[in-house]
Amino acid sequence: MPFINGKFYMNPAYGRALENARANESTDGTQGGHWVTIDGRHVLIQGRQEAQTPQASPNQLAHLRQVQKRRDEAKAEVGYGETSGIVPEKSADSPNNASPYQRSTWDPASTKNLQDARKNIMDISERNGIVKKSKPDDPNNKIQQSIWQDNLSVAKNSHGDMPGRYFFIRQEGKGPQRPPASAGFGQGKPISEYGPFRNVGGGDVPRGNRTFIDIYDK
């Protein structure tokens, strides 16, 4: 059961709306309550009802935090497994010999675009479990750990609301540009596209500087 502001709600969307309304709406003085708007409906919140809302105990809060942590790590494993070898484009003023992992040389717009792509992939994984999952295998490898943190930060905001049921990573001009017909998806036009990025890790996708992530509905 999700908890919001230390209170339990069966419906998390309703709970968030209710807690936000309690924080933002003014009271009207009717029997110690106040009116709020939730999903376009006016609802009177009585003071005594709020007092009856169950509060989470410290042990329950600790348990729920652990559940959320495991959920975030599971999502991050998807993003890391699919995109750990992909980095943003370089900024226009970056030196030619700069390491692809030198973050100060990454183009800001491309960096955000890659994070958005990771979130979309993580959201899709809620509807389609055919994904690669991986975690850093060396706790002392700073590159692995920094990319893991990139994915973990995205995972905390992945709620399954981004579109698509499939994704396909390709290198423009090299290798397949769409899934094979036997894959059962990706034969139409993608609904969105992220990139270009740089694939420096290899894997199923050829290395290069024109890496795209296509999102498909079917």
In tens digits, the chain (218 residues) has pLDDT values of 555 555 555 566 666 666 666 666 544 444 556 666 655 565 666 655 444 556 778 888 889 899 999 999 999 999 999 999 999 999 999 999 999 999 999 999 999 999 999 999 999 999 999 999 999 999 999 999 999 999 999 999 999 999 999 999 999 999 999 999 998 899 889 999 999 999 999 789 999 999 999 999 99
Q: What is the pTM of this model?
A: 0.74
Range 164-184 burial, b when 16+ CB lie within 10 A, else e = bebbbbbbeeeeeebbeeeee
pLDDT of 39: 57
Query: Cα separation of 86 and 94, whole Å?
Result: 18
pLDDT of residue 199: 98
**What pLDDT, on the 0 to 100 scale, is given for residue 72?**
96
